[in-house]
Structure 1
Amino acid sequence: MSRYEEGIKLIEESCGNGKDNIIALSTVVMEPNADGMPSSCVRDVDAYYEDGVFYITTWAKSNKMLQIAQNKETAFAVCFEGIYGHGIGENLGWVLDPKNAELRVKLRRAFADWYDQANDEKDESCVILAIRITRARIMRDHGAVRYNLDFVKKTEAEDGIIG
């Protein structure tokens, strides 16, 4: 098994199997800060993980969705799991869109404890956000063991650069 495959297995064990994960999701704020530069915005969200993608139900007009519409680059950290990295955000559309039917079932199952309280599925602004991981770092044993994964090339990144 390659180091890339070992790393993927660790992510699956930590985040997969229908688990409701809490991730810190960072987006780029396009309005300039006091120095005239863009800044970042981070927030905790519930996310379902499958095959290199985190899925989040959200409101289409939320700040994160408006920011991703302007710049799809995101960063994330899986809370308390030693997994963090970068991804590309994509609005998959309304949760009740027929193309989202299979994914919606998985999200409802993973988020069963709170899904109906937090989501108004009748509102077409209730959408699914996909964060497609491009690079990730997994740290174990307080950083003694590290995996630097390039999801695009499907290999361990030799440079170790995550962000």
Structure 2
Amino acid sequence: MSNYEEGLKLIEEKFGNGKDNVISLATIAREPGANGMPRPVVRSVDAYYEEGIFYVVTHGKSNKMQQISQNSEVSIAGCLEMFTANGVGENLGWVLAPNNAEIRSKLRTAFAEWYDMANNEKDENCCILAIRLTKGTLNINHWEKLYHMDFVNKTDMENGGIF
């Protein structure tokens, strides 16, 4: 088994299997900071993980979705696990759109305790955000082993990843 495959297996164990995960999601603000440079914005979101993608139910007019519409490059971090990654955010559209039926069912199951309280599915702006991972680093036991992963090319990176 390659380091990439081993890392994927560990990520699935930590974040997959239908779990409700809290991750930090960083986007780039629509307006620059005081120095004129791009300004990061970070928040915690509940996310469901499957096959290299984190899924989030959110509102299409939220700041994060407006920011992603301008710059789809995002970063995430596992709040309880030492995993950081870059990815591309994509608005999959209304949760009730027929093409979202399968993932919506999985999200409703993973987030069952609070889903209906937090989401108004009748609002067509209630949407699914897909965060497709591009590269990342999984840190096991505080630097005992690092998995630098290229999710696009499905390989490990000897030196690199995200710290």
Q: What aligned pairs does 1:33-48 form with structure 2 within 5 A after superposition?
A: 33-48=33-48
Q: What aligned pairs does 1:8-157 form with structure 2 within 5 A after superposition?
A: 8-157=8-157
Letter paired with 2:94: W
Letter paired with 1:26: A
Letter paired with 2:61: K
**Contact 2:149–2:161 under 8 Å retained in 1:** no
Alpha-carbon distance between aligned partners in 2 of 1:20 and 1:82, rounded to the nearest angstrom: 17
Residue 80 of structure 1: CA displacement? 1.1
Q: Structure 1 length as normaliser, TM-score? A: 0.98
Alpha-carbon distance between aligned partners in 1 of 2:48 and 2:145, rounded to the nearest angstrom: 25
Alpha-carbon distance between aligned partners in 2 of 1:161 and 1:114, rounded to the nearest angstrom: 34
- Residue 3 of structure 1: aligned partner: 3
Deviates most, 135-144 or 63-72: 135-144
Tell me the secondary structure at the aligned position of residue 112 of structure 1: coil
Tell me the secondary structure at the aligned position of residue 11 of structure 1: helix
Letter paired with 1:28: I
Residue 38 of structure 1: CA displacement? 1.1
Deviates most, 16-25 or 27-36: 27-36
Alpha-carbon distance between aligned partners in 2 of 1:94 and 1:51, rounded to the nearest angstrom: 21
Alpha-carbon distance between aligned partners in 1 of 2:31 and 2:16, rounded to the nearest angstrom: 35
Alpha-carbon distance between aligned partners in 1 of 2:39 and 2:4, rounded to the nearest angstrom: 32
Residue 144 of structure 1: CA displacement? 1.7
Deviates most, 29-38 or 15-24: 29-38
Letter paired with 1:38: P
Residue 134 of structure 1: CA displacement? 0.3
Q: Structure 2 length as normaliser, TM-score? A: 0.98
Residue 157 of structure 1: CA displacement? 1.1
Alpha-carbon distance between aligned partners in 2 of 1:149 and 1:82, rounded to the nearest angstrom: 14
Deviations 1:108-148 (A, max 9, x none): 00000000000000000000000000011000111121000
Identity among equivalent pairs (%): 60
User: Deviating runs (4+, > 6 A) in structure 1?
Assistant: none
Alpha-carbon distance between aligned partners in 1 of 2:100 and 2:158, rounded to the nearest angstrom: 36
In structure 2, list runs of 5 or more residues that go unmatched.
Answer: none
